[in-house]
Structure 1
């Protein structure tokens, strides 16, 4: 005779139902005599897909040397708003929606200027002070680095 334990199909069904109800991908139940593990493939995740952007024309060779210096000058500006993290910057809440701010717009302290997606989380970049947005230095769906200047508020 075999001493192989019988499968408790009712317990397996209950655990599978619990997976569906909770949205989990795996669940395990264990007692002294029995251990049951039920799992399923994770559902595909939908991600924010930005509208395609046209590539900017390359800068002339003479201007290439001046570009890093210009960015450094902007970073030292007292009204420069810099990126708080590495990620992908978005100028609006969803594709086709108007931008949070435009050049020449008046903003108040705490107003959302951009969103930065990092690790599938959208983080708002807020205005540190009120004023007028004199320059926007980034494009929609552009990768940004920590400390990179995003805009200038006068």
Structure 2
């Protein structure tokens, strides 16, 4: 059974990182935290109540500690053409717009500021707004809509102001 201290840490992790849902499954426990509004709701399934399923996967090494600050994309110097790259802060799926028929967040020729949302990256069914983190004009879009992206992969190139 999951202890109260661990449960409180998971709820704090959710609120600190603005997560809406968190599923954790271990050898003996299964916990689903889902946030609606400000208060997370907890669903705990004890091992005795869980229906038998496929064999549990091999244990995985514990993840690195999570910081309270969510990852932000890095806008770094040094692209081939001398511009600044806006890089992906996570692994996921790149979306240029909020929906298939919506206008893209950012296109070649658009001026951006550090707080300008340039795209969405979907990771684990959560859509994350990615900001430019730099000022300038977009000179190249380096990925296609719906393309899988890796951590630190350049998404856009901008010419600094």
Deviations 1:33-57 (A, max 9, x none): xxxx8xxxxxxxxxxxxxxxxxxxx
Structure 1 stretches of at least 4 aligned residues deviating more than 4 Å after TM superposition: 23-28, 75-78
Match of 1:95 in 2: 100
**Greater radius of gyration (CA):** 1
Distance 1:143 1:114, change over 3 A: same
Distance 1:123 1:26, change over 3 A: same
Note the C-alpha offset of 1:149. Answer: 0.7
Match of 1:86 in 2: 91
CA contact (8 A) 1:75 1:148 kept: no
Q: Among 103, 123, 129, which residue is 2:134 paired with?
A: 129
Structure 1: gaps (5+ residues): 1-22, 29-36, 38-72
TM-score normalised over the length of structure 1: 0.51
Structure 2: gaps (5+ residues): 1-40, 50-77
Note the C-alpha offset of 1:74. Answer: 3.2
Which has the larger share of strand?
A: 2
Which of the pair has the greater relative contact order for Cα pairs under 8 Å at 6+ separation?
1
CA contact (8 A) 1:137 1:151 kept: yes
Which has the larger share of helix?
A: 1
